[in-house]
Structure 1
């Protein structure tokens, strides 16, 4: 008989210099959405029956009426006892709301880089500047590390004036690349190409749920939650029920849903086929 491998969830909340860490002794559920584009990643983290002092601190400091440059940050880590924890989401706390008794639930609404949209910047570079240098300066100004996997090129007369959050979109448009923020990383890749990270194999034996289906963009596939799949990474799908979908795809959107004391422990990946397929070479789907 296969031994159980319990889920592990840890939430670390920092508000006004005070850090609170919640582990398996606390009932936690979450819903996280990540996209490989300049849109902000989002998370809703629901925490039940917090100690009175912690709950009051969070609700008081995170009320909509408190005008702070940054209300707080959150890091969500998930995993199994056998594999340990992996960071699933890191971002800014936008608001905290409280539910009704008897199970008093505090729901944290969070977004990656939320406060960058309220921070104005003016950036200009010399007549010809390497795209990698522009990205490095942007990452440094936003306090992010940089993952640059695109073909470097020179950009003429690059400048940006406006919200810092819009700077990522400007990079994507100016360089003809895919650029997005994933937790604390600025990721830049060639448009239509996957990141150079782990390729997740998905089939009935590895945790596929239901039958993967084609969409207007590519393929949608539901599976058990696996933190090894990164946004922008590759997913290799094999379906016995619908073999037409078999092949390798790039995940441009991932929705995670999980809880440590309830049923959900899933993720749904929205994917697109490789560039060769999009250009008409169907023989390279696999």
Structure 2
């Protein structure tokens, strides 16, 4: 099994199609926030000592940024999105910086609109298609959309008018699912399910830092930067390493103690749904981490397991259980 060493990073900024610049050789400090909510994922990227001509081109010409990071054998996209703001500054007498603020699917989220009519008998899938078509001109394509979402056929014709994001939120509410944009792709996952795929094993050998911890919102675990961790998918943890939530001692905290412990339970088989992640790093410093907050999953069948460092996979997975976010 290979170990996680030999950091790699790639930062490309350019247009959706056309000219682009590779800033990978410069010092880069970044922070990426991702989640399974409809609010776009975000990134703040600082690039040091960019030439004046390059900085001017970035400010005036470019609209998209793609950040890839990881280690030899485990390298991939950690952010792909629209440039929201570019600003320049000076950190000290010798070092200048260029700050790039970006959001994943921001243009589609803010500007995609729908204006059409659906006939009686149309399903939620038809509404999703209309919204996806509206987002396509803004660079968002269709990613994973669960095939088993309730159809909920319309009993009469329906006019769809307004922001595509609002209609997707209505679909999500009526089908008990979550929608988000992940790396420029529309993703819709049932609240009691997850995106199928390989399940990275997170332990000390594959880069886990410290011990996983049961907190108020779920199970928190930190690891060396790992691009294979994706929102809406699963990871596997060793339950014996998870530090349980510490109860408060005051009488007023007792009901809350047991509520938190039951809602954010530890899964018997060690499978957890990735709800949010934060990825941060410094190509000239020590920071190079991924930290996730996840929820327990009832995994009752076989699962395809992948060692996050070696990339080795087991046979194809069988059907799994469901997420129980409320205990």
* TM-score bucket of the superposed structures, by smaller chain: 0.7 to 0.9
Q: Post-superposition shift, 1:85?
A: 4.2
Matching of residue 103 in structure 1 with residue 100 in structure 2: no
Deviations 1:169-215 (A, max 9, x none): 23212332221110121111221211102212112222111221112
Aligned to 2:189: 189
Aligned to 1:72: 63
Aligned to 2:115: 122
Matching of residue 132 in structure 1 with residue 114 in structure 2: no
Q: Residues 55-94 of structure 1: matches in 2 within 5 Å?
A: 55-59=55-59, 61=60, 72-80=63-71, 82-83=72-73, 85-94=75-84
The whole-number CA distance in structure 1 between the counterparts of 2:212 and 2:3 is 29
Asked whether the equivalents of residues 42 and 102 of structure 2 are also in contact (C-alpha less than 8 Å), the reply is yes
The whole-number CA distance in structure 2 between the counterparts of 1:24 and 1:266 is 18
Matching of residue 264 in structure 1 with residue 264 in structure 2: no
Aligned to 1:147: 144
SS in structure 2 of the partner of residue 154 of structure 1: coil
Aligned to 1:66: none
The whole-number CA distance in structure 1 between the counterparts of 2:241 and 2:5 is 28
Deviations 1:224-275 (A, max 9, x none): 1111111111011115443664621101111101222221110111111224
Bigger share in strand: 1
Q: Which runs of 5+ in 2 are unaligned?
A: 245-265, 298-321
TM score, norm. by length of structure 1: 0.83
The whole-number CA distance in structure 2 between the counterparts of 1:3 and 1:208 is 12
Q: Residues 234-273 of structure 1: matches in 2 within 5 Å?
A: 234-238=234-238, 240-242=240-242, 245=266, 247-273=270-296
Q: Post-superposition shift, 1:35?
A: 0.7
C-alpha root-mean-square deviation of aligned residues, in Å? 2.6
Asked whether the equivalents of residues 192 and 324 of structure 2 are also in contact (C-alpha less than 8 Å), the reply is no
Aligned to 1:67: none
Instruction: Quickly say closer, same or farther: Cα 1:159–1:27, change in 2 above 3 A.
Output: farther
Larger Rg: 1 or 2?
2
Aligned residues: 269
SS in structure 2 of the partner of residue 209 of structure 1: strand
Aligned to 1:219: 219
Asked whether the equivalents of residues 92 and 112 of structure 1 are also in contact (C-alpha less than 8 Å), the reply is yes
TM score, norm. by length of structure 2: 0.74
Asked whether the equivalents of residues 160 and 170 of structure 1 are also in contact (C-alpha less than 8 Å), the reply is no
SS in structure 2 of the partner of residue 39 of structure 1: coil
Q: Post-superposition shift, 1:16?
A: 9.0
Asked whether the equivalents of residues 204 and 239 of structure 1 are also in contact (C-alpha less than 8 Å), the reply is no
The whole-number CA distance in structure 2 between the counterparts of 1:91 and 1:276 is 29
Q: Post-superposition shift, 1:138?
A: 2.2
